[in-house]
Structures are given as C-alpha cells and as structure tokens.
Structure 1
Amino acid sequence: MSASHRTTLPILAVLGSITSLCFGTSLAKHLFPVIGAPATTLLRVGFAALLMFAVQRPWRAWPAPRALALVVGYGVVLGAMNLSFYLALRTIPFGIAVAIEFTGPLAVALLSSRRALDFVWIVFAIAGLSLLVPRGSLDAALDPVGVGWALLAALCWALYIVAGQRAGQAGGRATVPLGLLVATLVALPFGVGQVGAVFGSPALLAFAAGVALLSSAIPYSLEIYALKHLPRQTFGILLSLEPAVAALAGWLLLSEALSSRQWLAIGCIMVASAGAALAARRGKPVAVPVDG
C-alpha cells in the first residue's frame, strides 16, 4: 500500500466514524417520543455491550480486583455521560449539545497544557459557550435545562478521559466491554420502565439495533482502526469536525435549524478543539468517547 493510501484510509475512517455516529444519534432521537431518552440510552449501551462482549470475550482476560474497581468507575462515568447527553437532546439541537459536550475533553487538554498559546483556545471555547448561554427571550428555543444536561455530559466526558486512561491500563482489553456492561446497569433503573415497547415491536427493535450499530459499533471500530494509523494530533483535529457534522445531521434528519449566532458558537468551539489538538504533544492520549 502506498504512503498516501496509508494516510487517506485512516482519515476516511475518522470521517466515516463521525458521520455514522452523528446520523445514528439523530435517528436515535426518533425513539424519544416512543420510549423516552433514558430507555433509548439503555438500548444503545446495552446493544453495544452485547456486541463488545461477543467480539472481545472479556472473560478470557478478567481484570484483577483492583483493576476491576477502576473499570467499574469507568463504566459508571460512561453510563452517566450517555444518559446526560441523551437527556440534553430532548430539548436542545443535536449540534449544540455536541458542541457543549466537547468542552469536557477540551478542558482536560487545556488544563494539562503549559503553553501561553493555548490560552487562545481557552478564549475561543469561552466565547463559544457564552454565545450558547440562554439569554431570556433571545434564546427561548434553547432550553436552559437541556444546556445543563449537556454541561453535565461535558463534565462526565472529562471524567471519562481520566477514568478511561487508568482503567484501560489496568483492565486491558476487558475494559470496554465490562465498562459498557456497567454503563448499561447505570442506565437500567432510568429506562427499564419504558423499554418494553421496543421488544413488543419487531420493527422498533430492528430500528433500535440499527441505531446502536450506527452510533456505537461502527464508529468504535473505525476509530480503533484510525488510531492505529494516524498521529494522535491528526485524529484530534479531525474529531473537532463532529459538532458541525452533528448540526448538519440534526438539520437533515430532525429539521433542527440553527441561528447564525449558534453556528458561530459551534465554530468557536471547533476552532478551540482543533487548536488544542494541534498544540498537543504526539505522546499525549486523545480523548475519544466510546459512546458519547
């Protein structure tokens, strides 16, 4: 394989991952009127857990007790991140929810930086957030509760990075499937009361499985491939496209039109994310959500 193909294919994999994730999540929102956001979260992480158990077979490399405790903590944060993000999607546009959530890993990257230039990215991030903060009648369509859930998802994503790095080093290949199992248990009490409607309808069950495939299995597989062949900085910069793709998917599939100010806010956060990724050292891990 030529050098250009070795670079092009992983880049296409990242773009495919972002597209699959965004369009899968947009489709997931169509389940909200039927079963609600918590039950949709439960189905998404539950199907993803089943898939990862089948692929990874974690019982073959079961973590030691201390490592297992770290994996459980990782799973709790993962479940809370998914649940809070889907609760945000109930009342605010998808692209805005993703942009707000991106401030979590962005904060982790910037807090670990010691370069003066990185303060520029902090300014862009703050500017983006300030443009999204509801201001009374000017932002009647942007629900403050939804913004709050998205900010909680951002906090969970930041915690996910820290917990995921520790759990991944200790738990090995069992980390993700076991973490998804714990995440399923976190979502279970919130969504179990409504999830029965899906299992009573083969069409809804197939739709939910397709959502899990598009928003979890396919993106995760493509990201794993890309991370093996791309510098982490490049991966991080490409990942900063996600808020824009999410806004596009929300517009196409959910009729979620954004104002010019909201697009400007998303652009500011994308610039901050790309700048932070560009400034990162090659040896620093990239914050990649499994199911965020």
Structure 2
Amino acid sequence: MRSVSLGIAAVSAVCFGFSGPMAKYLNAAGLAPLESVWVRMAGAGLLLLAALALLRPAALRIPRSQWLFFGVYALVAVAGVQALYFLAIQRLPVGVTLLIEYTSPVLVVLWVRFVRRIRLPKAAYIGAVIAVAGLAVVVEVWDGLRLDALGLVLALLAAACCAGYFLMSDNLHVDPLGLVAWGMIGAAVVLLPFARPWSIEWAVFGDVVTVAGNTLPVAGAAGWLILVATVVAYIAGVTAVRRLSAAVGATVASLEVITGALIAYFLLGEALGAYQIIGGAVVLLGALLAQTATVRRAPAEAPAAREPVLNPSA
C-alpha cells in the first residue's frame, strides 16, 4: 500500500535525523569524527550480519557479478556519505549541513540528463536553479560566505556521495538487507586506516557526557546511533527506495532536514538563523520541483530510461 510505503520512508527520515546529534555527543566524549563513524558502521554491520545469519542467511549471499557494485556502494554510499557528513558537522550546524547535503537530488537530475542522456522538461532545470539559489541564501554568499569554508566543501562532497547512494539504489538486483549489512562492514574496513579504532579510548563508553545542558550516557548515544539512526534508518530507507517514485521519495526524504534540525535544537541547542530557514525552504522547493518534473517525464521515455528512485541518508 502507498500509505505503508510513505510511512516507511518517513520512519527512515526521522531515524536518520538523529545521526548528527548523537555523533556530536560522541565527539564531546572525546571520539574523533572518523572514530564515531567507524563505531557506527562496525556496530551496525556486525549487528545486521548476526541477525541475518540467524534469520535470513540467503540475504548475505553476494553473486560474484555484484562484488564490484558492493565495493563501490560501501565506499561511496556508506563510508563517503557518513564520514564527510560527520566531518562537516564539526564545522557547521547539523541543520545547515543537512540543507547542503540535500542538494543531492539536483545532482541526480543533472546526472540523469547529461550522463544517462534522458531529456527532461524545463521544470527540472528551473528546480535545480532554485535549489542552488536557496543554497546561496543558506550560506549567505553576499556576506563573503559566513559559513566555514572547509565545512561547506565537506558538506557538498557529502551531497555528491549522497547522490551516488540514490543512483546506486536504482534497479537493485540484490537483497536490500544484505546490501546494507555488507555495505556497513565494507565501510568499516575502508575506514580502518583512517579511524584507527585500536586507538579509541573505549573506557569513555562507560561515562556520561553533557552537551547544551543535556546529559546522556556515552554508550546510550552510541547505541542509539547504531540501532536507530543506522540499522533502522538504512533498512527503512532502502526498503522505501524500492517502493516509491522519485518525486515522492525525495519529498519524504527531505523530512530529515526538518527532523535533524529539530533534534539538534532540543539536544544540542543549535538554532537556524532566518536566512538558513528561508534558504532551506527554497532548497527543498527547488529539489522537489526538479524531481517532480523528472518523474512526470518518465512515462514518455523508453522503459529502460528510468530515473533513480530516491530516499535519504545522513
């Protein structure tokens, strides 16, 4: 049912919204951003592998023809998105980082047009221009880029990797649960030399940490990040990707911007300024317009020329 699919996508967006705030609690406890990412990926990957090995072992079988796909998925759609996002939120507010990352549907539209060479209606390009204009408002370009320049670059790279996640989620021919599980494990392996988990002060997971007057157990923040913001979020997200159209999926995915900003406000005391709120609304409007135009054009195209089906990530 369509309502069920929408509900699954909404659950994914809300769960992903906890990623940034929980990561900042781990960072406040002393973990570096890449260490937090590694704990998240390794924890979620091992949890999923154990569950699938017991309940659905067939999901873990990877056809030899899919090895390269799984490797690229782990590198770009999981490790790239998460590592760049976690690094970006060290320099930018969570809400602003998400707003920048959600220019990714525009990148998908450009990929569909210029790489897949699928003709799109003018509304798709108008939406892309509107989204970029909204991004300019978010970063307040008229005031010499008030946001941290490196943080902005990291967030834009995260958007590019997020676009890769959307594109690779199109026409999946593998079990989505197995894809998520091996993607997490692959990401943890890729990040090993950068995160250096053997140097993590594991004793801090027995402590509590206070951010903006709110105190949480470090182990609780890590557990929520792994179970809710990763396992539940990714499973719901990949499931919704296979059930929703591009326009609907992208629209529901944008809820992560709102939920992430709200959670960051209550847990971290981070508030968006007037320009970020206005610019964010323009970004989401442009992305929605571009994706809606894309999906409306799809029936007129050849059956093989299908645009990606979208849903989030952070």
Fold equivalence (TM over 0.5): yes
Indicate conservation of the 8 Å contact 2:17/2:259, yes or no.
yes
Residues 1:19 and 2:14 aligned together: yes
Task: Identify, as 1 or 2, the structure richer in helix.
Answer: 1
- Per the alignment, residue 48 of structure 1 pairs with 44
Distance 1:184 1:254 in 2: 27
RMSD: 2.8
Q: For structure 1, list consecutive stretches of 5 or more residues without a partner in the other structure.
A: 1-5
SS in 2 for 1:112: helix
Give the distance between the partners of 2:202 and 2:220, measured in 1 at CA.
Answer: 9
Q: TM-score, normalised by structure 1?
A: 0.84
Aligned to 2:156: 151
Deviation of 1:187 after TM superposition, in Å, equals 2.2
TM-score relative to the length of structure 2? 0.79
User: Matched residues in 2 for 1:123 and 1:137: separation?
Assistant: 20
**Superposed counterparts of 1:104-183, under 5 Å:** 104-113=104-113, 114-133=120-139, 135=141, 140=146, 142-165=147-170, 168-169=172-173, 174-183=178-187
Q: Measured at CA, do residues 198 and 214 of structure 1 come closer, stay the same or move farther in structure 2, by a change above 3 Å?
A: farther
Q: Which residue of 1 aligns with 2:116?
A: none
Structure-2 change in CA distance of 1:195 and 1:30 (3 Å):
farther
Q: Tell me what 2:268 maps to.
A: 254
Shift of 1:225: 5.2
Separation in 1 of the partners of 2:183 and 2:279?
A: 33
Distance in 1, matches of 2:68 and 2:219, equals 33
CA contact (8 A) 1:243 1:270 kept: no
Deviation of residue 65 (structure 1)? 3.3
Identity of aligned residues (%): 24
The whole-number CA distance in structure 2 between the counterparts of 1:284 and 1:128 is: 24
Alignment partners' CA distance in 2, 1:103 and 1:178: 27
SS at match of 1:169: coil
Post-superposition offset of 1:17: 2.4
Q: Distance in 1 between matches of 2:281 and 2:142?
A: 23
Give me the whole-angstrom Cα distance separating, in 2, the residues matched to 1:275 and 1:212: 33
| Partner of residue 37, structure 1 | 33
Residue by residue over 1:27-74, the C-alpha shift from the partner in whole angstroms, topping out at 9 and shown as x without a partner, is 221111220211111111112211221233486453233421221121
SS at match of 1:280: helix
278, 286, 289: which is aligned to 2:309? Answer: 286
Distance 1:254 1:176 in 2: 29
Give the superposition deviation at 1:85.
Answer: 0.7
1:106-148 C-alpha deviation (Å, 9 max, x unpaired):
21124425111112101211102222346596654x2111111
Tell me the distance in 1 between the aligned counterparts of 2:108 and 2:169: 13
Match of 1:64 in 2: 63
Give the gaps of 5 or more residues in structure 2: 114-119, 207-216, 299-305
The change in CA–CA distance for 1:162 and 1:193 in structure 2 (over 3 A counts) is: same
Contact 2:241 2:249 in 1 (8 A): yes
